[in-house]
């Protein structure tokens, strides 16, 4: 009887998830057809493509300067967006150049949609959902809920790779450890494209997963060596010339789009230089608190929340965490909803708090059109999301004039300080709450287990 009920529940959940996700995706497709320039822009995909073409020496009209052509490239169009990724990333982006541009755009959208669902599928696998119908139904249902959030839509809009890298890390670190000596290597490869996933290496070390940490280091080292093999001059400039540490190449650190602690402190300090020292102190404290919280959660038997806390910590302490880097809220909503459903009958108040947390994440990160707040469209579209409610400095103004006292972000006040810093403030609030919770449960629950182990699969008893 229980098996029959389980199958029926799985079928109903799968049907509901498929219907909800199809409706949301159909709504976005209709929106894209009505106003293509507001739905997609692909400016970052263009940067990736140009990076790959530089590797292939095929960028039209491009003349290399010296021995470092990748980083001496003048940038994309009027925005002058330079290539700010690792040399290996440019090598990997050669794949984008193998198809015509109009096809690459469609592939980018499809890959990001698939990566969102895949990341949630892997999330539920890490929570122990063994029933495939339940897992896919839950993944599609949450994907429908989080699809119309600003980080997800901006990732699709720009043609970014954040959803792909997130899915790769979650898959890698949530797969069973038995018989998988390579577990952790994919996380290192993800860090070889964008450096932020390096945060998972100290996380693996403090949770005593030394083999996985070694695999992550090996994966990262392979990307570095590949960069030197294909782009030796650029690799020397990137790694030994300190280019990797020059966050300002990516844009204005105080810009509203930078939802990291560095961005917050810069805006409050009134200049990039004045914010440097305070940011280092705050970032160091956040790093310790975040990794301590992750370690406590892991040892208390909650490896998936521990993984997400680590991702959250990475977004907070990175010098640059653009709005689209916050796609980690998607599995965060899934995990909060899971625990809320799981304890609904045993602890109703706790369950309501967890479900309210999931709803709160969706509300804060939702793609609210700023015209609803009386703000005219900017950034080339309706500037979805709370963080775009205050005025902000255009990228071109910063590139032309530098860090000026008159930059709009330095003059926020009142509610603008809350909405303009909404992502980083929400991240800090969740980190504090999770740290308190981890300290409480570490004294009560069993020792932690590797994600995907047989005992850890009991996390998914609701499945």
What pTM was estimated for this model as a whole?
A: 0.91
CA angle 252, 196, 428 (to 5 degrees): 75
To the nearest 10 degrees (0 to 180), the angle between helices 261-269 and 272-299 is 150
Question: With contact defined as beta carbons under 8 Å apart, do 261 and 424 qualify?
Answer: yes
Question: With contact defined as beta carbons under 8 Å apart, do 149 and 116 qualify?
Answer: no
CA distance linking residue 227 with residue 210, whole number of Å: 26
Give buried/exposed letters for 307-331 (b at 16+ CB in 10 A, else e): bbbbbbbbbbbbbbbbbbbbbbbbb
Cα 56 to Cα 127, 159, 193, 238, distances in angstroms: 42, 21, 18, 19
**In terms of C-beta density within 10 A (0-12 exposed, 13-18 middle, 19 or more buried), how is residue 200 classed?**
buried
User: Can you give the pLDDT at residue 104?
Assistant: 95
pLDDT per residue of the chain (463 residues) written in tens, 0 to 9: 344 445 657 789 999 999 999 999 999 999 999 888 888 989 999 999 989 988 888 666 555 555 558 888 766 655 567 888 999 999 999 999 999 999 999 999 999 999 999 999 999 999 999 889 999 999 999 999 999 999 999 999 999 999 999 999 999 999 988 888 899 999 999 999 999 999 999 999 999 999 999 999 999 999 999 999 999 989 999 999 888 777 767 778 999 999 999 999 999 999 999 999 999 999 999 999 999 999 999 999 999 999 999 999 999 999 999 999 999 999 999 999 999 998 888 888 888 999 999 999 999 999 998 777 777 776 666 778 899 999 888 766 666 667 888 899 999 999 999 999 999 999 999 999 999 999 988 777 554 444 444 344 444 444 4
CA distance linking residue 126 with residue 305, whole number of Å: 10
User: Can you give the pLDDT at residue 108?
Assistant: 97
Q: Which domain holds residue 80?
A: 2-460
3 state DSSP class of 149: strand
**Count of domains for the chain:** 1
User: Can you give the pLDDT at residue 378?
Assistant: 66
Give buried/exposed letters for 172-192 (b at 16+ CB in 10 A, else e): bbbbebeeeeebbbbbbbbbb
DSSP-assigned beta bridge partners for residue 148: none
Question: With contact defined as beta carbons under 8 Å apart, do 156 and 109 qualify?
Answer: yes
Kindly state the tokens that stand for 285.
């404290």
CA distance linking residue 165 with residue 215, whole number of Å: 17
User: Can you give the pLDDT at residue 73?
Assistant: 78
User: Can you give the pLDDT at residue 435?
Assistant: 95
User: Can you give the pLDDT at residue 57?
Assistant: 80
How are the residues of the chain apportioned to helix, strand and coil, as percentages rounded to the nearest 5?
70, 0, 25
């Amino acid at each position: 009887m229980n098996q029959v009920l389980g199958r029926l529940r799985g079928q109903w959940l799968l049907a509901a998830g498929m219907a909800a996700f199809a409706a949301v995706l159909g709504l976005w497709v209709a929106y894209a057809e009505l106003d293509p320039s507001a739905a997609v822009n692909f400016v970052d995909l263009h940067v990736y493509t140009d990076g790959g073409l530089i590797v292939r020496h095929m960028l039209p009209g491009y003349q290399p300067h010296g021995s470092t052509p990748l980083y001496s490239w003048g940038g994309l169009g009027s925005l002058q967006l330079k290539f700010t990724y690792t040399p290996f990333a440019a090598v990997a982006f050669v794949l984008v150049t193998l198809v015509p541009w109009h096809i690459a755009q469609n592939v980018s959208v499809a890959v990001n949609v698939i990566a969102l669902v895949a990341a949630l599928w892997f999330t539920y696998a890490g929570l122990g959902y063994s029933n495939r119908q339940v897992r896919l139904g839950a993944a599609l249902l949450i994907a429908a809920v989080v699809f119309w959030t600003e980080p997800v839509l901006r990732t699709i809009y720009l043609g970014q790779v954040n959803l792909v890298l997130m899915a790769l890390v979650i898959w890698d670190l949530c797969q069973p450890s038995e018989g998988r000596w390579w577990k952790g290597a994919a996380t290192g490869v993800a860090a070889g494209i964008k450096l932020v996933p390096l945060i998972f290496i100290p996380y693996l070390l403090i949770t005593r997963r030394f083999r996985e940490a070694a695999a992550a280091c090996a994966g990262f080292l392979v990307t570095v060596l590949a960069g030197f093999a294909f782009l030796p001059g650029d690799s020397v400039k990137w790694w030994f010339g300190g280019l990797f540490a020059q966050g300002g190449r990516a844009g204005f650190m105080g810009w509203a789009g930078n939802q990291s602690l560095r961005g917050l402190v810069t805006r409050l300090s009134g200049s990039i230089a004045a914010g440097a020292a305070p940011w280092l102190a705050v970032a160091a404290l956040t790093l310790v608190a975040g990794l301590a919280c992750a370690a406590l959660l892991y040892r208390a038997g909650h490896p998936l929340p521990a993984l997400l806390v680590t991702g959250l910590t990475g977004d907070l302490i990175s010098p640059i965490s653009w709005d689209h880097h916050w796609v980690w809220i998607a599995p965060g909503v899934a995990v909060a909803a899971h625990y809320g459903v799981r304890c609904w009958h045993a602890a109703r108040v706790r369950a309501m708090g967890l479900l309210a947390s999931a709803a709160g994440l969706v509300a804060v990160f939702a793609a609210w059109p700023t015209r609803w707040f009386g703000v005219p469209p900017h950034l080339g579209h309706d500037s979805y999301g709370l963080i775009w409610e205050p005025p902000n400095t255009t990228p071109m103004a910063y590139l032309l004039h530098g860090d000026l006292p008159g930059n709009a972000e330095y003059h926020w006040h009142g509610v603008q300080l809350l909405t303009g810093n909404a992502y980083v403030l929400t991240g800090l609030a969740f980190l504090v709450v999770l740290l308190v919770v981890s300290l409480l449960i570490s004294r009560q629950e069993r020792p932690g287990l590797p994600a995907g182990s047989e005992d850890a699969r009991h996390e998914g008893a609701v499945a």
